């Protein structure tokens, strides 16, 4: 069961999303709660899995990963009497590739959607041809190259909106 979050919890979460390097005393001063209370609330939300981790956001282009692509893949669930393939298992296998940032099981004509980061278009092609299409059961792929990104975020819009 998920713990109930009050307005103070939501304010703490907003601050952590904006800057996970904030010290507990800084959050405490902004929220108006004692440091020990803020610390306990953060630990409670970590334990409940609401806060999954703390990460730096890197500039992919400055690290020579300026090419982004979304790859749609469909696969055969069963081949020539073999054991039925699991969509989840295929997604887990695809997620192990270093070029892959995200893997989503989706509805519609495709089975999974994969976000890929690479240094250039050729590298995306090599990933699709030499790795993804060799995953057991992957039948076809459709690669969509990103020309420009207007928004990328990991932030979750917490409600009610901040006053």
Would you kindly state where each structural domain of the chain is located, as residue ranges? 7-47, 61-145
Q: Looking at residue 67, what is its pLDDT?
A: 98
Mean pLDDT within 52-79: 91
Closest CA to 73 of 61, 85, 58, 59: 85
Q: How confident is the model at residue 144 (pLDDT cuts 50, 70, 90)?
A: very high
pLDDT for the residue 84: 80
CATH topology of domain 7-47: Arc Repressor Mutant, subunit A (1.10.10)
Per-residue pLDDT, averaged over 99-126, amounts to: 97
Query: What is the per-residue pLDDT across 56-68, written as a single tens digit (0 to 9) for each?
Result: 889 999 999 999 9
Report d(CA 121, CA 147) in Å as an integer: 11
Q: What are phi and psi of 152, to 5 degrees?
A: -140, 130
Query: For residue 163, is pLDDT > 60?
Result: no
Whether the predicted pLDDT of 162 surpasses 70: no
- For the stretch 131-143, pLDDT in tens is 999 998 899 999 9
Q: Any idea which residue has 């703490």 for tokens? A: 12
Res 86: pLDDT = 87
CA distances from 71 to 11, 89, 131, 144, 151 (A): 36, 17, 13, 6, 19
8 Å CB contact between 70 and 144: yes
Tokens of 79: 């081949």
As a whole number of angstroms, the distance between CA 26 and CA 154 comes to 22
- Assess whether pLDDT exceeds 70 at residue 161: no
More confident residue, 93 or 160: 93
**Other C-beta atoms lying within 10 Å of the C-beta of residue 65:** 18
**What is the CATH T-level fold of the domain 61-145, as seen in this structure?**
Alpha-Beta Plaits (3.30.70)
Handedness of CA 135, 74, 153, 14 (dihedral sign): negative
């Amino acid at each position: 069961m998920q713990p109930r979050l009050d307005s103070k919890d939501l304010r703490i979460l907003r601050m952590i999303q904006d800057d996970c390097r904030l010290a507990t005393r800084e959050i405490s001063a902004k929220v108006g709660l004692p440091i020990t209370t803020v610390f306990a609330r953060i630990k409670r939300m970590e334990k409940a899995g609401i806060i999954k981790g703390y990460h730096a956001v890197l500039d992919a282009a400055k690290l020579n990963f300026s090419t982004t692509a979304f790859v749609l893949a469909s696969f055969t669930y069963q081949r020539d009497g073999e054991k039925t393939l699991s969509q989840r298992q295929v997604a887990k296998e695809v997620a192990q590739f270093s070029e892959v940032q995200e893997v989503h099981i989706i509805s519609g004509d495709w089975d999974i959607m994969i976000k890929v980061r690479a240094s250039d278009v050729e590298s995306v092609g090599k990933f699709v041809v030499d790795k993804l299409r060799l995953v057991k059961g992957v039948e076809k792929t459709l690669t969509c190259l990103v020309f420009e990104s207007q928004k990328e975020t990991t932030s979750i819009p917490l409600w009610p909106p901040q006053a």
